[in-house]
Chain A
Amino acid sequence: SSELTQDPAVSVALGQTVRITCQGDSLRSYYANWYQQKPGQAPVLVIYGKNNRPSGIPDRFSGSSSGNTASLTITGAQAEDEADYYCSSRDSSGNHVVFGGGTTLTVL
């Protein structure tokens, strides 16, 4: 299967820790990448590979993976972290990109 499944919505209290998950068979072979998208803006890469952060991404963002599940963890969520988060990986052929349906994160 080439599908990636995410919870549609997650909420977290300001300053607390939240985990956003992504499930799919392809995650057994390929790492997930994570993108943050705020309303009206282009997506931004926040985590790629095993657990790598691009320059400029705060270290409160981290990634992990186990079996068919990848996770994005935000430790000490801030108001500016409120956004849609998309996981992405490869399909079984390795040639096509697949995205999860996205998770809307609300910071309370």
Chain B
Amino acid sequence: EVQLVESGGGLVKPGGSLRLSCAASGFTFSGYSMNWVRQAPGKGLEWVSSISSSSSYIYYADSVKGRLTISRDNAKNSLYLQMNSLRVEDTAVYYCARVGREYDILTAHYCYYMDVWGKGTTVTVSS
């Protein structure tokens, strides 16, 4: 069974740090790019960061750039999100998601989509 399981969430004070993990199973982890997506309480989905299969390409949302760091260990089938200088507005459920891709001949673009999601881990930043 294809599965993603997040862990590492918790309560942290503003300015603090936290490291999230995402354990992958049931598929060849090293063959896929991965994303972190978060959802603040009662709000919509917000993309946080992406990492390519070999970690060659890494992207961040402007709201987290310089504070959050995505990484992966393909030997351990694991994805990580190091969260530093946390702010109250970082409070959210954090999901890891597998990135699928398909080439579209008409647009000559790859279509990227998140086809497998974990159940999420909750991060609360509060004093």
Listed in ascending order, the chain A residues whose CB lies under 8 Å from chain B are 29-31, 33, 35, 37, 41-45, 48-50, 52, 54, 84, 86, 88, 90, 94-102
Q: Which residue of A lies closest to B4 (CB)?
A: A42
Q: Is the CB of B102 within 8 A of A86?
A: no
Q: Which residue of A lies closest to B116 (CB)?
A: A45
Q: Which residues of B28-53 have CB atoms within 8 Å of chain A's CB atoms?
A: 35, 37, 44-47, 50
Listed in ascending order, the chain B residues whose CB lies under 8 Å from chain A are 35, 37, 44-47, 50, 57, 59, 61, 95, 100, 102, 104, 106-107, 109, 111-115, 117-120
- Contacts A31-B111, A86-B44, A86-B45 given; indicate if A52 touches B102 (C-beta within 8 A): yes
Q: Is the CB of A35 within 8 A of B47?
A: no
Q: Which residue of A lies closest to B6 (CB)?
A: A42
Q: Is the CB of A42 within 8 A of B120?
A: yes
Q: Is the CB of B95 within 8 A of A42?
A: yes
Residues of B contacting A: mostly = strand
Q: Is the CB of B106 within 8 A of A50?
A: yes
**Once bound together, how far apart are the Cα atoms of A13 and B57, in whole Å?**
45
Partner of A35, one of B46, B106, B114: B114
Q: Is the CB of A97 within 8 A of B100?
A: no
Q: Please give, as numbers and ranges, the residues of chain A lying within 8 Å of B104 by CB-CB distance.
A: 31, 49-50
Q: Is the CB of A96 within 8 A of B114?
A: no
Q: Please give, as numbers and ranges, the residues of chain A lying within 8 Å of B118 by CB-CB distance.
A: 42
Beyond A88-B113, A99-B47, 9 additional pairs, beta carbon < 8 A: A30-B109, A42-B119, A43-B37, A50-B104, A88-B47, A95-B50, A96-B59, A99-B45, A99-B46
Q: Is the CB of B107 within 8 A of A45?
A: no
Quote the shortest CB–CB distance from A44 to chain B (angstroms). Answer: 7
Q: Please give, as numbers and ranges, the residues of chain B lying within 8 Å of A96 by CB-CB distance.
A: 47, 50, 59, 61
Q: Please give, as numbers and ranges, the residues of chain A lying within 8 Å of B37 by CB-CB distance.
A: 43, 97, 99
Partner of A45, one of B46, B115, B120: B115
Q: Is the CB of B45 within 8 A of A49?
A: no
**Once bound together, how far apart are the Cα atoms of A90 and B101, in whole Å?**
13
**Once bound together, how far apart are the Cα atoms of A41 and B27, in whole Å?**
22
Q: Is the CB of A101 within 8 A of B44?
A: yes
